[in-house]
A and B are shown apart, each in its own frame.
Chain A
Amino acid sequence: MSELFPRKQVMGFVFSLVLTAAALTVYFLDVSFTVGITILLATAFVQAAVQLVGFMHVGENEDKTMIYMNIYYGLAIALFTIFGTLLIMVWDM
């Protein structure tokens, strides 16, 4: 039975739950916007990384360089698009 529950994945799951709980502090505690958004950014991106490396096995693939590049490239453009749009449509309008 225990071979069905590899340590790495169980730890990843527990860690994800902890991160979710950590994110909830912004709801239960009275934090400022800056502190809150920092907590959320940290918990969300770390948790995404846990999924990517722990569960999706991105590092085991023989094409991992290309796959990492693909993810980083996508992420960079995604962030440019989001913040560029906010700059144009909200902050500088």
Chain B
Amino acid sequence: MKIDNSLPLEYGTEQNKMNIFGFWIFIGAEVMLFATLFATYFTLEHRTGSGPAGSEIFELTPVLIETIVLLTSSFMIGLGVHAMRIGRKNAMITFFSITLLLGLVFLGVEIYEFTHYAHIGAGLQVSAFTGILLTTLGTHGAHVTIGLFWGLFIILQVKKRGLTPQTANKAFIFSLYWHFLDVVWIFIFSFIYLKGMM
């Protein structure tokens, strides 16, 4: 493997550059994935059948907690990548761990939110609106869950193998994924919750 030392570690080899490029293409696909969910959501938003409407079930507090927590986690993983670039392995692991902890908090609040909806009669099978709402949120939540495992594996690998072109590359790609999930959440926050409560 030829390693180019003029670039950050994660770009060090040709394969690494290709991995990062390929992941950006994957993010392009994810944009369409969530766009389709949004298109469906906006179409069905007011088709509530006999169930409740968004303005009746959305609550600001849990949503705001989720937003701040996910935003902070995205900031933390950004710091983690920065620490990785200046070679501070332990700081990087700390930042990545905080990221995942915040991700866990996000997931916890989301689970609370889901059970709350089920409790107040806005379960999955109630109406077209609740169905697509929970599917959209659930798809994002599933991405976060996968991210938690993925991030954990990467922390373990960096711990065991140190900062090599391979581990740095994986960590950087994971950070792209995590930032992207925050971007998706910004749109969910703005156009599902705030628009619904407006």
A–B interface present (Cβ within 8 A): yes
Determine chain A's interface SS by DSSP, over half rule: helix
CB interface residues, A 1-42, toward B, < 8 Å: 3-6, 9, 12-13, 16-17, 20, 23-24, 26-27, 31, 33, 36-37, 40-41
Q: Is the CB of A74 within 8 A of B31?
A: yes
Please count how many residues in chain A sit with their CB below 8 Å of the partner chain's CB atoms: 50
14 contacting pairs across A/B (C-beta < 8 A): A13-B72, A13-B78, A20-B68, A36-B194, A36-B198, A37-B198, A40-B190, A51-B182, A51-B186, A56-B175, A78-B35, A82-B39, A86-B39, A86-B43
Determine chain B's interface SS by DSSP, over half rule: helix
* Nearest-neighbor residue (CB-CB) of A44 within chain B: B190
Which of B11, B17, B28, B83 has a CB less than 8 Å from the CB of A74?
A: B28
Contacts of A63 in B (CB 8 A): 17, 21, 24
Q: Does B112 contact A (CB under 8 A)?
A: no
Q: Is the CB of B179 within 8 A of A44?
A: no
Which of A43, A51, A62 has a CB less than 8 Å from the CB of B74?
A: A51
